[in-house]
Amino acid sequence: MELMSLLQDLQASAPAEWMRTSVKAMPLVEGTHVLAAATVFGTILIVDLRLLGLRDVRRAFTRVSDEMLRLTWGAFGLAVVTGALMFAANAGTYYGNTAFRLKMLALLAAGLNMAIFQHRTLRGVAAWDVNATPPRAARVAGLLSILFWLSVIFLARWIGFTKGYDFAVPDDAEINFQF
């Protein structure tokens, strides 16, 4: 099946129809999405600041990480569900939106950064878990994580104000700059 056909089927689905036709659906789902995303970023920021050695260095990194990441994964799951609902409502438009595509790339980059950290850098955590400066690889992972998640936030806000890069003024627009 072709991608555009899949997007059209998704956009014609019952959840997508509900999102488009219910007066309350989009504000509730979008508000929940924003709160979930804020929770994801906030909890990850706490862990990343610990990786950078800027916060809670006397607390074990593993403890900080364990406490925060449970909240992170729950909020991330909620953000995925609410994001999928919003995407379904206008799948074709979102798919063609450059800011949306860049946001997805930033999410992928954040995920890859986390996977590399989890499978490589975290192996030696016993040496820097408490009262020690994390190794350079851990600090780089923390900094990259912050940058990737800030990019996700920036691009997510950009989505709502763009339809891609087409900034052409419509022919029938009446613009009057006189005061």
Q: List pLDDT tens digits, range 72-99.
A: 999 999 999 999 999 999 999 899 899 9
Question: Residue 136 carries which side chain, given as an amino acid letter?
Answer: R
Give the integer Cα–Cα distance in Å for 128 and 62. Answer: 10
Residue bearing the bigger pLDDT, 166 or 40:
40
Instruction: Map out the domains of the chain as residue ranges.
Output: 3-159
Per the listing, tokens 């949306």 go with 100
The size of the chain, in residues, is: 179
Q: Output the pLDDT for position 29.
A: 96
Q: Are 48 and 146 in contact (CB under 8 A)?
A: yes
Give the integer Cα–Cα distance in Å for 102 and 7. Answer: 18
Q: Output the pLDDT for position 172.
A: 77
Any idea what DSSP says for residue 175?
A: -
Tens digit of pLDDT for each residue in 21-54? Answer: 998 999 999 999 999 999 999 999 999 999 998 8
Q: For the chain, first and last CA: distance in Å? A: 55
In 3D, which of 34, 63, 37 has the Cα closest to residue 125?
Answer: 63
Q: Output the pLDDT for position 160.
A: 80
What are the tokens at 17? 């129809």
What's the alpha-carbon Rg for the chain, to the nearest Å? 20
Handedness of CA 12, 13, 14, 20 (dihedral sign): negative
